[in-house]
């Protein structure tokens, strides 16, 4: 093999370095680009990245790991080329074991706070459907680039779910109030054109690598800022949004649990899960 070829291969190998998140699971994968210092955090729970307890814990650990290792930014994406995330794993909510449900909801609240308040610049390369909490993951980031042909939004009310305040806030942090309110009440899923029109997403990409490049460019726009000053300013800007969850996480947990355990919620969920299963068998 020519020396120049070996050099090129070494360079390719050096460009992206996988870092573990200490728990050895592959539910999320983190790769840091050695050149830019930007970490790509990939959701990797087949078939559709539905967020169960293990994925939420793993995701939270990866976000923290990215901050600890001094990465310059975080790009959130999916290993599935059709689904960014299908939201909460509904099996976690259906006839739940109460201890697991408590751990699950705590992990959800903690993960959202970690992503929403992350010290590093964050961007979502949305390479598939981003449904409900899938959309919440994207809106917790500072910038969103999406591929055409997919849907994004929170359609909870269509299925009789009331959304908890932090989910509401994640919409309100990117959409004008009247648009957020209308979309939530309608249970609207946005097409890419609609999402772009209301600024639910910032840019359209023509493929996953284009989306990653656009996200990296956004993150690069902070190159001349001082990281601590940026992080603190972001935290201050978002302080009001997280007040409820930071001041009273257990109260928020209690309210959600009470609602999830109602016969009304459980019956509705049962019907929805059955529909979802029968659809996937068509
Ligand atoms: C006052 C306080 C109130 C507190 C209230 C708390 C309650 C929570 C209330 C609101 C917040 C809710 C947040 C959520 O995130 S709920 C989740 C909502 N998500 C969905 O409805 C998505 C449903 N899925 C789809 O629409 C599709 O799967 C798809 C478009 C994402 C992908 O389509 P496709 O590629 O065709 O895949 P399949 O549909 O065939 O699915 C494959 C497989 O996966 C199962 N599955 C899909 N989504 C979920 C899910 N979210 N949870 C669990 N399982 C899911 C699907 O059933 C198939 O399974 P299989 O039959 O076994 O193969």
Assess if CATH 3.40.50.720 describes domain 13-281. Answer: no
How does residue 160 score in pLDDT terms, banded at 50, 70 and 90? confident
pLDDT at 23: 65
74-91 pLDDT tens trace = 999 999 999 999 999 999
Measured in Å, residue 91 CA sits from the centre of ligand 1 at 9
Measured in Å, residue 69 CA sits from the centre of ligand 1 at 33
Residue 9 has pLDDT above 60, yes or no: no
- CB 42, CB 32: distance < 8 Å: no
Domain ranges of the chain: 13-281
Residues with Cβ within 6 A of ligand 1? 47-48, 50, 82-83, 86-91, 129, 131-133, 156, 161-164, 167, 255-256, 259-260, 276-277, 279-280
Burial of residue 43 (CB within 10 Å: 0-12, 13-18, 19+) is buried
244-265 pLDDT tens trace = 999 999 999 999 999 999 999 9
- Mean pLDDT for the chain? 92
How does residue 282 score in pLDDT terms, banded at 50, 70 and 90? low
- Of the candidates 85, 13, 71, the residue with the CA atom closest to the CA atom of residue 42: 85
Measured in Å, residue 159 CA sits from the centre of ligand 1 at 11
Q: Write down the ipTM of this complex.
A: 0.97
Per-residue burial over 115-124, b = 16 or more CB atoms within 10 Å of its CB, e = otherwise: bbbbbbbbbb
Measured in Å, residue 278 CA sits from the centre of ligand 1 at 13
19-40 pLDDT tens trace = 766 567 799 999 999 999 999 9
């Amino acid at each position: 093999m020519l020396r120049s070829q070996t050099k090129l291969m070494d360079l390719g190998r050096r460009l992206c370095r996988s870092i573990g998140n200490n728990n050895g699971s592959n539910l999320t994968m983190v790769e840091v680009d050695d050149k830019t210092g930007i970490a790509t955090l990939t959701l990797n729970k087949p078939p559709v990245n539905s967020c169960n307890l293990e994925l939420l814990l793993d995701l939270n650990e990866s976000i923290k790991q990215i901050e600890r290792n001094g990465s310059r930014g975080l790009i959130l994406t999916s290993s599935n080329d059709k689904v960014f995330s299908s939201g909460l794993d509904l099996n976690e909510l259906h006839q739940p074991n109460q201890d697991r449900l408590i751990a699950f909801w705590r992990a959800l609240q903690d993960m959202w706070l970690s992503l929403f308040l992350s010290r590093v610049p964050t961007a979502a390369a949305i390479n598939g459907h981003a449904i409900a909490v899938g959309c919440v993951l994207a809106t917790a980031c500072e910038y969103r680039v999406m591929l055409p042909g997919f849907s994004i939004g929170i359609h909870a009310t269509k299925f009789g779910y009331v959304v908890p305040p932090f989910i509401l806030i994640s919409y309100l942090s990117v959409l004008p109030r009247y648009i957020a309110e209308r979309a939530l009440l309608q249970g609207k899923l946005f097409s890419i054109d609609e999402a772009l029109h209301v600024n639910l997403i910032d840019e359209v990409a023509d493929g996953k690598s284009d989306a990653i490049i656009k996200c990296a460019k956004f993150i690069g726009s902070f190159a001349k800022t001082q990281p601590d000053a940026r992080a603190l300013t972001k935290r201050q800007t978002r302080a009001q949004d997280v007040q409820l969850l930071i001041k009273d996480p257990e109260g928020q947990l209690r309210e959600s649990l009470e609602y999830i355990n109602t016969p009304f919620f459980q019956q509705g969920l049962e019907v929805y899960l059955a529909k979802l299963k029968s659809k996937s068998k068509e």
